[in-house]
Chains A and B, each alone.
Chain A
Amino acid sequence: MRRFGPAFLFLLPMPLAAQLALPHTFAVASDVSMRIWVPAGTVRVETWDRDSIRVTGSLGRNSHFFGGSGGHGAKLGVENNDSTDIGMPHGDLVVTVPRKAHVWIKMTDGEVIAMHTAGELDVITVTGTIIAQDAEGVVSVETIDAAVTLAGINGEVRARSGGGRLSLAQLHGTLTAATVSGAIDLTGTAMADARLETIGGPIVVRGTVAHDALLDLETHNGPITLFLDRAALPALALSSRAGVVKNPLGPGNVKAGRIEARSFKGDINVVAASGIEGKKATTPP
């Protein structure tokens, strides 16, 4: 019977979840698709080259850890001991997953930190902080007003926020980012295709664009500021219906990529990243 136990678990259509003690280890496939629910607290996702998920950490006073796995699927999280408790379940978890795992995290208020993931990372939160760093594959983040930092990602990045700031640095892959009032701050060298869109948040871009890439920027009333290197100035197409456009650096060259920036009534400013403009010294902000 013991021999058939793991096979039986593998055949389950949905992983069964049960109340478990921490730390806990689940045996899973290397490309496991997993869901993590932690309403409040911290989730730190780390990766390793093993076919298992390890969860360590601590729990809030009235919360317990639950989880289950079915080989290619796993789910785990934190919930209240008492179903009538209206407080949010709280946990501070460190979840170590196979590098190629598809990790889906849902949180209401807290901090998500994910490092070195190479499969897919999906994070949905209401508020708090989201940090994803040194990742490959797909990173998708949606939040209402959490502060988001995505850095050193080689793959496709999708970030959407209401009022939270999106700090995006050294992304090597296609990027789509949108906010309502949150600032979008993009920094990088040889930046790939990107579309940044905001209603009222400021967009700030610093760095250089890959020769075949297009940065497409749009705001409603948020200002757009481009800190660009004069020696590698991309072709610039800038327009604002009711705002002021200032570009002392000139139209640029398509050999250094392209930037198209539009605004309904926000100002657009192009600033030299460093050097002397007129009689004024400029330094990287």
Chain B
Amino acid sequence: MTCAEFAERFDAWLAGTLTDADARAVEQHAAECAACGARLSAVSQVGAISREIPPPPALREITLRAVAQRRAIARWRRMAAGITAVAAIALLFLISRPTSKPASDFPGTSTELIAMAHARPELADLDAAERDVEHALHDQPADSALTGALTRIRRQREALRRLVTQAKL
């Protein structure tokens, strides 16, 4: 390593951001070169002194207050991001919902349910009748009367389902 390269990497060595290999190279050059070694030694001594002497109480207080302030700001930023996300989701939900309309435009939901409740036993009767006829048709597949009966049962079911749908006002 040359002295120019040492000078280039000295700040990074001080900050501790060099890789292990680079840091070793810097320290080896300082051991071999008197000028660079003196520079490193001086800085190391200042660091050791600064670690031994406690900071003045006022500085400590200012530093702790600054750290607390930074933490509070970070906490508020995280909270604000959360609130913004929730607000964005709520806004999307409101936009995607149908707008309020008069009752006459879509009052059918409950009436359709009422109709379905009334139709359910009838649909069960139709299912039972269909099973009867299908069973008979299994034994007599060529019986046209049975085929006709099956058709009529299914037509009845369609009519009933249509009535349920029409119940929507």
Interchain CB contact under 8 A, B166 and A124: yes
0 or 1 for each of A12-52: is its CB under 8 Å from B? (1 = yes): 00000100000000000000000001010000000000000
A218 to chain B, nearest CB (A): 7
- Considering only CB atoms, which chain A residue lies closest to B102 in the complex? A83
Which of A89, A145, A200 makes the CB contact (< 8 A) with B118? A145
Interchain CB contact under 8 A, B136 and A241: yes
Which of B103, B115, B121 makes the CB contact (< 8 A) with A181? B121
Q: A172 interface residue, CB < 8 Å from B?
A: no
Cα of A163 to Cα of B133 in the assembled complex, Å: 21
Q: A206 interface residue, CB < 8 Å from B?
A: no
Interchain CB contact under 8 A, B136 and A82: no
Interchain CB contact under 8 A, A39 and B169: yes
0 or 1 for each of B78-112: is its CB under 8 Å from A? (1 = yes): 00000000000000000000001111110100110
Interchain CB contact under 8 A, B169 and A144: no
Chain A at the B interface: SS class: loop
Interchain CB contact under 8 A, A220 and B166: no
Interchain CB contact under 8 A, B103 and A85: yes
Interchain CB contact under 8 A, B119 and A144: yes
What residues of A have a CB within 8 angstroms of the CB of B111 in the complex?
39, 88, 108, 126
Interchain CB contact under 8 A, B169 and A180: no
Which of B100, B125, B163, B164 makes the CB contact (< 8 A) with A199? B125
Q: Which of A88, A199, A200 has the largest number of chain B CB atoms within 10 A?
A: A199
0 or 1 for each of B100-141: is its CB under 8 Å from A? (1 = yes): 111111010011001100110110011001001100100000
Cα of A159 to Cα of B156 in the assembled complex, Å: 12
Interchain CB contact under 8 A, A180 and B126: yes
- Considering only CB atoms, which chain A residue lies closest to B149 in the complex? A264
Cα of A39 to Cα of B167 in the assembled complex, Å: 9
B151 to chain A, nearest CB (A): 12
- Considering only CB atoms, which chain B residue lies closest to A262 in the complex? B145
What residues of A have a CB within 8 angstroms of the CB of B103 in the complex?
79-80, 82-83, 85, 89
Cα of A245 to Cα of B58 in the assembled complex, Å: 113
Interchain CB contact under 8 A, A144 and B156: no
Interchain CB contact under 8 A, B122 and A144: yes
Interchain CB contact under 8 A, B152 and A143: no
What residues of A have a CB within 8 angstroms of the CB of B153 in the complex?
199, 220
Q: A116 interface residue, CB < 8 Å from B?
A: no
Interchain CB contact under 8 A, A108 and B136: no
Q: A127 interface residue, CB < 8 Å from B?
A: yes
Q: List 20 A-B contacts (CB under 8 A).
A: A39-B111, A79-B104, A82-B103, A85-B103, A106-B169, A108-B169, A109-B114, A124-B163, A124-B166, A126-B111, A126-B114, A142-B159, A142-B163, A143-B163, A144-B119, A144-B164, A162-B119, A199-B125, A199-B153, A264-B149
Known: A200-B125, A200-B129. 5 other contacts (CB 8 A): A17-B104, A83-B105, A144-B115, A178-B159, A220-B129
Which 10 residue pairs spanning A and B have beta carbons closest together?
A162-B122, A180-B122, A83-B103, A144-B118, A220-B129, A80-B103, A108-B111, A126-B115, A79-B103, A79-B104
